[in-house]
Chains A and B, each alone.
Chain A
Amino acid sequence: MAAFDECIFELIAQLGTLKERNAAQVQELYAPGAPADLVEGLGVRIGAGANPGIILRGDTSVELGNPEVGSCSALLWTDDLSLVVDGRITVIGPDVPESVGQSLPLAQVVLVAGSGLDHGDHEALQQSAHVSDQVEGYMAKSTSEFVWARVSHEAVAQGIDFAILGRALLYLVKTSVAKVSAAEVVFVTASREDVDAVATLVRQARVIGARIVTDNWRERGFDLDCDFDCSSCSDEEICDDIRDVLVATHAKSRSG
């Protein structure tokens, strides 16, 4: 049984309750499985540099996950494919287009399955779910405990909603780790209480995640050779040759 399986079981049960409680505001959407298909025809750019600038307060149409109104976020992975419905996007509560000018609470949980997934994939998966600026018109703020995001007026005008955000997340997750064969995402925006209920589970998951990270460090080991003290390094010549390549690569990635 993988590390987060129990959390996933609990989440499934919890979502059942939340769906019942908010029956009138539940959407279950199904997106295609292949990453390329996920982003086709989306209408917004996805990936590194998709949102090159920042979204100012004045340009914000909808705020999601401000801690003052409720916020939590988690990515739970498993090697049991039966626990995850690939491509499903579940929304419990109001969607983005109907919330212009509002600040909605947000619980965002991404469920990921792949038969070969293990602890070694944990960190890459966690990083992939932190969108930052990888969705055009959507900016996730830099907080460690929450998902706190802004959706721009422009993006709302272009029709951004949780279906698009969900597909973007699925794309980012699937393209970050090749072993992922199924992924689904849940957005809860119904109420603070509902988000807080999910937050309890998220806290448990965080403790499990911290242990995995420590184990991973141990398995990877430390690279003890380079401490950037070039004057004492026997590999300086080789390093100098590589430097030119690094400079070029760096310049290319910065220009996007």
Chain B
Amino acid sequence: MDKGDRVSGDNAWQTFREVAGTLLNSHVREWKESGEKVVGFFCSAVPEELLTAAGVLPFRMRGTGSTSTELADAFFTPINCSFPRHTFNQALLGEFDFLDGLICINSCDHVRRVYDNWTRTLDTGFVHVMSLPRKIEQPQVDWYHDEIALLKGKLEAHFGVEITDDRLREAIALHNRIRRLQKELYEMRSADRPPVSGTRALELMVAGTAMPRESYALLLADALADMPPPEEVGPARVRVMIVGGELDDPEYVRTVEEQGALVVTDSTCFGTRLMWEPVDEGEPDPVRALARYYISERPSCPRMYGDQPRRIAHIRDLVRQFGVDGVIGERLMFCDQWLVEYFMTALDLKDDGIPFLQLDREYVMSGKGQLQTRVQAFVETIEAAKESSACQV
């Protein structure tokens, strides 16, 4: 498919599924074959807009398709998160040879070490690590402004491009357009009968991190105009929200939904935190606009100190807006950030009377039976509570 081709709605949803389910998908392949470059990046705090402005395809790193961590286990240990282990294992197997560059970041103790191990083992041309602050105040915005400016200079030097302010503004506008469209789709899910399942929504969101953004934006518009068949979304016994981090596996969401828990919204690294707020296009300095957005304006994740009140407010707002019956908090094993975050979230949601279920998982789905059982039990608990309060009324 050429850049900018329009496709029918059916193809758009199929495309999302294909792209979310593979690493080197057909769009990336075509992009590369036309001589263009791809730069991978970890974490939603990396300013993708900068990469788009540099003319490269920003590719969010995933371990999709990985079945083992045998090679990566020489570098990591069993107490390290399975996400970087699987992703790095894929890299060692050559599955990321299509990358022309990689942006790492100190998002967490596990993922940041991918940089150290990657630079010592793989030759990826351009590899850079960003220093992401842990606070959301003005000095941190200033620091990240400088980090983005530094990265900009390095991209320009390495890829031989000039990232003018105008190009950056165009890229911001494109990414904001994508955010608006994604949000538009999400808001449809607040209906009593959402037009798409959480599984489909995740496929759509993951695809948005792994293909040329212009094409994706067009696909998105088509997809909004042409929803999947309504019977795809089964009757929801309960409406749930998923909260968490690196959830890029639609199979996981499918398993949850098959138990009668329709996922109507979320706060995850591939969900609302990516697109609920836009970058300020009115800010004259686009680098500053990006710095403010990524540090203090978009919904944060637990690594951002001092922002838990805003995070729980985001969850509460979405619970209200989407008529959520219960919240599921998923966590990758050994993730300290989400573990302690849920300690606080559980207390807050208890005060609100909102049922909360915490689920630990591995990056590559295992223990499906256990997941099914726990979600079933959660659904039944919520149903029983709803019935009980209905009776009282």
Contacts and interface: CB of A to CB of B under 8 A. Distances in A.
A203 to B, nearest CB: 18
Contacts of A214: 119-120
Chain A interface, DSSP helix/strand/loop, else mixed: loop
B120 A227 contact: no
Interface residues of B, number: 8
B182 to A, nearest CB: 38
B221 interface: no
B74 A218 contact: no
Interface centre among B71, B121, B122, by most chain A C-beta atoms within 10 angstroms, is: B121
Contacts of A221: 121
A227 B74 CA distance: 8
B123 to A, nearest CB: 6
Interface in B119-133: 119-123
Interface string A203-247: 000000000001001100110100100000000000000000000
A217 B71 contact: no
Contacts of B120: 214, 217-218, 222
A33 to B, nearest CB: 37
Contact of B119 (A218, A222, A224): A218
Interface residues of A, number: 7
A217 B74 contact: no
Nearest to A223: B74
Nearest to B92: A224
A244 B122 CA distance: 37
Nearest to A216: B120
B75 to A, nearest CB: 7
Interface in B97-142: 119-123
A156 B357 CA distance: 74
A168 B74 CA distance: 40
Contacts of A218: 119-123
Contacts of A222: 74-75, 120-121
A100 B74 CA distance: 53
B74 A224 contact: yes
Interface of A: 214, 217-218, 221-222, 224, 227
Interface of B: 71, 74-75, 119-123
Given A217-B119, A221-B121, A222-B74, 15 more contacts: A214-B119, A214-B120, A217-B120, A217-B121, A218-B119, A218-B120, A218-B121, A218-B122, A218-B123, A222-B75, A222-B120, A222-B121, A224-B71, A224-B74, A227-B74
